[in-house]
Amino acid sequence: MKVIFTVPFTGKRTETGFKGQDWYDWRYEIFKDYTLKSLEAQTDKDFFLWLTFRPEEKDNPTTKKIKEAVDKLGIDYKMTFHGINFVDDMQPKRNEDLEERYSKMIKEIPHFEGEIYEVMLDSDDMLCKEYVETIKKKKPKERGACHMRDGYIYSNIQDRLAQWTTPNSNQNYMIVFPNDVYYNAKKRLKYLKGLESHEQVPILFNSTELLGGMFCSIVHGQNMSTEWGHQFMKEEIYDEVVKKNVLNYFGIY
């Protein structure tokens, strides 16, 4: 078994897959200060980090900064420059060469033994310290997966924390892949059965819902969909001690 975090930086959602250099610089800061810290804080550090980019970002100075930030933590990782490794529900044309692109990028990823527990993690999200430890306790099952509905959102601009509940599954889900399926583009796409969005995970897979409070999305002013005051936002947490303890659970001190 190997846990692989897939973090898509660029190459998704918009027509070009890139929202500009200012956005890229800002996203690097969010990733460094929040997402990366939550990975650094994992109680079980036996995992692999896969960062995906467009080819155009290979020589971008900010990409070098991302690499340097990850290098400092000693995390086992790889950066690939063939675009994202999953279906883009916002840009259907981008999916036309997904099999070809995945065939290229997967050759650059180490061949781990056993089942692959692939976790989708956006570059502005956090997972709790015990996330890796928790999913590793889930025994592999046919078309297995794990999803979450209840967690938190944190506005780093306003320093405000609130509870968050999605109807089906939030964007940070895990899918269990048989080894031969994960390392074969054609088999992988067939296995995913047309998965286009995180909401479909509990429908298309034999998925287990994890306990609440294991994810936290950052509201930083440049989000595509996660906004303060969104209908999925629930109770705000005003108690400063409770807020500090929750953020500590995600590696933010």
Token representation of residue 205: 């897979």
pLDDT tens-digit map of 186-238: 999 999 998 999 999 999 999 999 999 999 999 986 656 677 878 899 999 99
**Tokens 């033994």 appear where?**
113
Q: List beta partners, residue 165.
A: 150
pLDDT tens-digit map of 81-102: 999 999 988 888 898 999 999 9
The count of domains in the chain is 1
Cα gap 166→155, rounded to integer Å: 18
Q: Is residue 241 part of a domain?
A: no
Determine the residue type at 113: E
CATH number for the domain including 83?
3.90.550
Cα gap 175→182, rounded to integer Å: 10
pLDDT tens-digit map of 113-140: 999 999 999 999 999 999 999 999 998 8
Q: Is residue 206 part of a domain?
A: yes
Q: Is residue 242 part of a domain?
A: no
Report the b/e string of 193-221 with b at 16+ CB within 10 A.
eebeebbbbbebbebeebeebbbbbbbbe
Residue 40 sits in which domain range? 2-147+169-211
Q: What are phi and psi of 94, to 5 degrees?
A: -65, -20
How many angstroms separate the first and last alpha carbons of the chain? 31
**Average pLDDT estimate for 143-161:** 96
Of 7, 78, 69, residue with least CA distance to 37: 69
Q: Is residue 155 part of a domain?
A: no
